[in-house]
Amino acid sequence: MVLVPTFPDQAEPQMIRPLILTLAVVGFVACKNQEKTADTADGGAPAQAASAEGIAHDGAVQLGGSNAADSLVLSIERTACFGTCKSYRIDVYRSGFAEYVGRAHVELIGRGQGRVDQAVIERLVARAESIGFARMDPVYDSPVTDLPATTIRVAANGTDHTVMGRVGAPDQFRSLANQMEEELLALPWRLVPDQD
């Protein structure tokens, strides 16, 4: 709301208009600068965890990407093969909310939603850190057919790293994928209608 000052009848409207325009411009610029400061740091790079939900305090786990709007913490996707490979995707967010898409050779086919306990999220993030997930190559692959791919994303503690492994992925990557699958695929997913 903009308050317009009132002046005695002898005040000239030409003096009021520039004053109002100046106040409006100053207010607009101040708001834009405040947004820019909250969104970026170090020359335009996203600021680390702009919301209290994702800020690491006193060694606490920081969950989610560096952009406050990006609350995804963990993601795993397995693709199909010509056989009976499981094909699904699971996305886990800071709050514990999780989304599931089951495509083939899994118990639940379709879209689902569920909740992941914070202890599970922190355990998986800690496991990823312990195996050096953030330092792994982004792609392990070769030109072959009929092999499923596994893609894992971990966004926590100041890193946001995605690795796709199909051929030649380290044992630690496969072990993390198996642990994520064991902990997340077994959740009590609730089917939701497609949004198409």
**136 and 83 together in one domain:** yes
Q: Which domain holds residue 109?
A: 63-191
Q: Report d(CA 196, CA 192) in Å as an integer.
A: 12
**67 and 117 together in one domain:** yes
Contact yes or no for 66/160 (Cβ under 8 A): yes
**34 and 79 together in one domain:** no
125 is a domain residue? yes
Residues of the chain with pLDDT > 70: what percent?
63
Q: Is the pTM of this model over 0.75?
A: no
**Average pLDDT, whole number, for the chain?**
76
With a cut of 70, say whether residue 37 has pLDDT above it: no
pLDDT at 64: 58
pLDDT at 2: 47
- Give me the residue label for tokens 């005695």: 8
Helices (H), the chain: 13-39, 118-130, 171-184
Q: Which DSSP symbol is given to 160?
A: E
